[in-house]
A and B are shown apart, each in its own frame.
Chain A
Amino acid sequence: MDLSLSTRTVGDRTVVEVGGEIDVYTAPKLREQLVELVNDGSFHLVVDMEGVDFLDSTGLGVLVGGLKRVRAHEGSLRLVCNQERILKIFRITSLTKVFPIHTSVEEAVAATD
């Protein structure tokens, strides 16, 4: 299954809905999307990962890269994820300390801290 990406604006946040598999082959597409959003001035991103079936370290690297970019503009990158198998990867790499992870898009969009 390939990667699907769609974006929408909610207030001052941009929600990136990701679906499918994020791996060494598809991660560059996600990277491009995040870079493009930041270049266009969207610095508060919410990446909705509820539709993601697979995530590897290449995908993690892209998310960390996205976080670095938005932080350079005092922005934010929040994740939405409830899937245990995806959350596990964030835990074993200790990235749960780096990313705010929310249980719903609504919660992520409303979060300010």
Chain B
Amino acid sequence: MATVELRFSALPEHVRTARLVAAAVARRAGVDEAVLDEVRLAVGEACSRAVGLHRSVGITAPVKVALIEEEKQFSIEVGDEAPRAVPGAGPSGDGGEAEAEAEAEEDEMGLAVISGLVDDVEVSSGEHGGLIRMTWPTTPPAVVLP
């Protein structure tokens, strides 16, 4: 399994917890201190997006975050269970459309931030949900001489 796994109810207040845990595990894994701010922001964006997707379709399942320490790299996977909407099948009515549009804009902005921050990112989605995988290089801890 992943080094640390986190599952949380799709509520905005828990996104901060995910950020803090991800940054702590990333630091331990050897991600450069200068990059930790980016890790925090990127995982926050991915989790906010997942929370938004779950809430918009009323999914009660938790958002999943996997923090994976590997040789020379550290990865974070944020998974949602929101099936991707079929184009044209969105909510109708004036308010609904405007809201859906605003949500879509926020979603795009979140992805824009992630792709601007993280060099190695994969976004996939299907009828059972989506996954964002972000990877950072790690540096092995310096050997402390006795």
A61 vs B103: C-alpha distance when bound (angstroms):
10
Chain A residues within 8 Å of B19, by CB? 23, 54
B113 on the A face (CB < 8 A): yes
Interface flags for A13-37 (1: CB within 8 Å of B; 0: not) read 0000000010111000000000000
A93 touches B109 (CB 8 A): yes
Chain A residues within 8 Å of B79, by CB? none
B113 touches A21 (CB 8 A): no
Chain A residues within 8 Å of B48, by CB? 23-24, 56-58
B63 CB, min distance to chain A CBs, angstroms: 12
Specify which of A24, A54, A89 lies most central, judged by the most chain B CB atoms within 10 Å of its CB.
A24
Q: A56-B45, A61-B106 are in contact. Are A25 and B113 (CB under 8 A)?
A: no
Chain A residues within 8 Å of B15, by CB? 23-25
A111 on the B face (CB < 8 A): no
B40 touches A24 (CB 8 A): no
State which residues 46-61 of A face B: CB under 8 Å: 54, 56-58, 60-61
Contact size range, A: 10 to 19
A110 on the B face (CB < 8 A): no
A10 vs B112: C-alpha distance when bound (angstroms):
35
A85 on the B face (CB < 8 A): yes
B109 touches A92 (CB 8 A): no
Q: List 9 other contacts, CB 8 Å, given A23-B48, A54-B44, A61-B105.
A: A24-B15, A25-B12, A56-B48, A57-B109, A57-B112, A58-B110, A60-B109, A92-B113, A93-B116
